[in-house]
A and B are shown apart, each in its own frame.
Chain A
Amino acid sequence: MVKLKRMRLDKKGMQTFLSPLETDVLTALYKLEKARTREIHRLLGQRRKVALTSVAVMLDRLHQKGIVRRAIEDGRGGGHYIYSPRTSRHEFEESIVDDAVNKLINSFGPVAANYFYKRFSKKE
Chain B
Amino acid sequence: MVMGCFAGLVIDADKMLLIASSASLAVVTLLALKKFSLSTKAKVGLIYGHLIFAFFPFVVLTTDAACGIACMPCANNLANLIALAFPTTLLFGTMAAFFVIPGFYMFFSRKFETGNAHITRFVGRYSRNIGIKKPKVYIIDNANPVAFSFKSFKSMMFLSAGLIDMLGKKELEAVILHELGHLKRKASVLSMSFSLFRIFSPLSLLARFHHDVDGEELYADGFAAKLQKTERHLKSAKRKIDEFESSKSIGRNQ
- Seen from chain A, the residues whose Cβ lies within 8 Å of a Cβ on chain B are 6, 8, 18-22, 36-38, 51-54, 56-60, 63, 72, 74-81
Q: What residues of A have a CB within 8 angstroms of the CB of B161 in the complex? A: 72, 79-81
> Smallest Cβ distance from B158 to chain A, in angstroms?
11
Q: Which 3 A-B pairs have the closest CB atoms?
A: A19-B251, A79-B139, A78-B116
* Residues A22 and B143 in contact, CB atoms below 8 Å apart: no
* Residues B139 and A37 in contact, CB atoms below 8 Å apart: no
The count of A-to-B residue pairs whose CB atoms sit within 8 angstroms is 83
**Assembled-state Cα–Cα distance A45/B161 (Å):** 22
* Residues B115 and A74 in contact, CB atoms below 8 Å apart: yes
B162 nearest in chain A by CB position? A56
CB < 8 Å neighbour of A74 from B116, B244, B247: B116
* Residues B139 and A51 in contact, CB atoms below 8 Å apart: no
B139 nearest in chain A by CB position? A79
* Residues A78 and B162 in contact, CB atoms below 8 Å apart: no
Subset of 11 A-B contacts with CB under 8 Å: A22-B254, A53-B243, A60-B162, A74-B112, A74-B115, A77-B164, A78-B118, A79-B139, A79-B159, A79-B161, A81-B143
> Smallest Cβ distance from A9 to chain B, in angstroms?
13
**Assembled-state Cα–Cα distance A60/B143 (Å):** 6
**Assembled-state Cα–Cα distance A54/B250 (Å):** 8
Q: Say if the beta carbon of B136 comes within 8 Å of chain A.
A: no
Q: What residues of A have a CB within 8 angstroms of the CB of B165 in the complex? A: 36-38, 56, 80-81
User: A78-B114, A81-B162 are contacts. A19–B139 as well, Cβ < 8 Å?
Assistant: no
**Assembled-state Cα–Cα distance A104/B117 (Å):** 54
